[in-house]
């Protein structure tokens, strides 16, 4: 299980909770002793253009630091997807997050849709025909959903149960109902934790979700699976929540 990370993700590129100082460091501290870290290259404009319009990319470029870190994050998701395609599960520990970035607009601390850019890259290279994207962040990934709204081969699912058992049941059932696919991609947001904004899930629940995703991938897509970080804002629990997910997802 490889972690895709770049020290530049520690940079405070803007003033929002995803870019807050200390957020990445909290996760790195929880992971660095037990996982191999790999540095990504920035995504090219061509990579970004598979999802985003030129005008949107241009508007992000007007904030040079956001653009630089943003394309490095997209490059991180691409590298995670490429490793997963080759049979090595990977997790992109990146920011800014991406699931609220649509082809021509963005909001919610997102600029470029990292997971969509990664999936589209593998599709454009004809490595995969489709994907199953599970997004367990507290918030619906409107950007990802918009990006793939006309693509029947990419299935996006965001469970929304507002009780713990109900939510976990929804996640479990979505794996049982899902047919074979070429790769599974997880938008991993940790803001639904009981000590984060959503106030719902326990740390061990992320391990269960990770394990179900792993089992699904072994049964249906040759173990091809990768995750990318989305939300999660309580620095005091974020490290152990990511750790818990990876214990199930990699294991
Ligand atoms: Zn969120």
> How does pLDDT run across 197-220, given as a tens digit for each residue?
999 999 999 999 999 999 999 999
Instruction: Give the pLDDT score at 251.
Output: 65
Question: Cα of 172 to ligand 1 centre, how many Å?
Answer: 20
Question: Cα of 98 to ligand 1 centre, how many Å?
Answer: 10
Question: Cα of 229 to ligand 1 centre, how many Å?
Answer: 10
Question: Cα of 187 to ligand 1 centre, how many Å?
Answer: 10
Q: What are phi and psi of 225, to 5 degrees?
A: -155, 140
pTM over 0.95: yes
Question: Cα of 238 to ligand 1 centre, how many Å?
Answer: 13
Question: Cα of 125 to ligand 1 centre, how many Å?
Answer: 30
Question: Cα of 137 to ligand 1 centre, how many Å?
Answer: 5
- pLDDT tens column, 214-237: 999 999 999 999 999 999 999 999
Average of pLDDT values for 95-107? 98
How does residue 72 score in pLDDT terms, banded at 50, 70 and 90?
very high
Question: Cα of 142 to ligand 1 centre, how many Å?
Answer: 11
How far apart CA 35 and CA 1 sit, in angstroms, is 7
Question: Cα of 189 to ligand 1 centre, how many Å?
Answer: 6
How does residue 178 score in pLDDT terms, banded at 50, 70 and 90?
confident
Instruction: Give the pLDDT score at 180.
Output: 82
Reported residue count of the chain is: 251
Contacts of 31 (CB under 8 A, 6+ apart): 3, 93, 239, 242, 243, 246
Question: Cα of 126 to ligand 1 centre, how many Å?
Answer: 31
Q: Which pairs from 117-120 meet CB under 8 Å and 24+ separation?
A: 117/43, 117/47, 117/48, 117/50, 117/51, 117/74, 117/77, 117/78, 118/74, 118/77, 118/78, 118/80, 118/81, 118/185, 118/226, 118/228, 119/81, 119/148, 119/154, 119/183, 119/185, 120/50, 120/51, 120/147
Question: Cα of 165 to ligand 1 centre, how many Å?
Answer: 20
CA 170 to the chain's CA centroid:
19
Cβ atoms of residues 69 and 95 within 8 Å:
yes
Between vectors from CA 18 to CA 41 and to CA 202, what angle results, nearest 5°? 110
How far apart CA 46 and CA 52 sit, in angstroms, is 10
Instruction: Give the pLDDT score at 143.
Output: 98
Could you tell me which residues are beta bridge partners of residue 106?
A: 101
Kindly report which listed range (26-30, 105-109, 162-166, 177-181) carries the lowest average pLDDT score.
Answer: 177-181
Question: Cα of 182 to ligand 1 centre, how many Å?
Answer: 26
Question: Cα of 135 to ligand 1 centre, how many Å?
Answer: 10
Question: Cα of 198 to ligand 1 centre, how many Å?
Answer: 9
How far apart CA 246 and CA 200 sit, in angstroms, is 19
Question: Cα of 188 to ligand 1 centre, how many Å?
Answer: 9
- pLDDT tens column, 75-92: 999 999 999 999 999 999
Question: Cα of 70 to ligand 1 centre, how many Å?
Answer: 17
Element (H, E) at 174: helix 164-177
DSSP calls for 43-94:
PPHHHHHTTS-HHHHHHHHTSHHHHHHHHHHHHHHHHHHHHHHTT--EEE--
Cβ atoms of residues 132 and 155 within 8 Å:
yes
Instruction: Give the pLDDT score at 98.
Output: 98
How does residue 162 score in pLDDT terms, banded at 50, 70 and 90?
confident
How does residue 179 score in pLDDT terms, banded at 50, 70 and 90?
confident
Which of 38, 36, 31 minimizes the C-alpha distance to 6?
Answer: 38
Pairing status of strand 131-135 against strand 154-157: parallel
Element (H, E) at 213: helix 203-220
Question: Cα of 203 to ligand 1 centre, how many Å?
Answer: 16
């Amino acid at each position: 299980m490889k972690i895709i990370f770049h020290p530049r993700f520690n940079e405070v590129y803007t003033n929002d909770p995803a870019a807050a100082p200390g957020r990445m460091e909290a996760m790195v501290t929880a992971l660095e002793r037990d996982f191999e870290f790999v540095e990504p290259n920035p995504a090219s404009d061509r990579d970004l253009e598979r999802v985003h319009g030129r005008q949107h990319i241009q508007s992000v470029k007007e904030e040079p630091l956001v653009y630089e870190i943003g394309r490095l994050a997209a490059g991180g998701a691409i590298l995670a997807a490429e490793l997963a395609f080759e049979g090595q599960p990977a997790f992109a520990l990146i920011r800014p997050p991406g699931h609220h970035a649509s082809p021509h607009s963005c909001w919610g601390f997102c600029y470029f849709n990292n997971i969509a850019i990664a999936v589209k890259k593998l599709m454009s290279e004809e490595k995969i025909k489709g994907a199953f994207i599970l997004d367990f962040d507290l918030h619906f990934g409107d950007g990802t959903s918009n990006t793939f709204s006309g693509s029947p081969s990419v299935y996006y699912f965001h469970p929304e149960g507002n009780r713990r058992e109900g939510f976990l049941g929804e996640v479990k059932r979505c794996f049982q109902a899902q047919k074979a696919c070429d790769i599974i991609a997880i938008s991993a947001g940790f803001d639904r934790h009981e000590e984060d904004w959503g106030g719902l899930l326990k740390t061990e629940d992320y391990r269960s979700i990770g394990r179900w995703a792993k089992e699904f991938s072994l049964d249906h897509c040759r173990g091809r699976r990768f995750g990318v970080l989305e939300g999660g804002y309580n620095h005091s629990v974020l490290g152990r929540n990511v750790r818990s997910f990876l214990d199930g997802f990699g294991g």
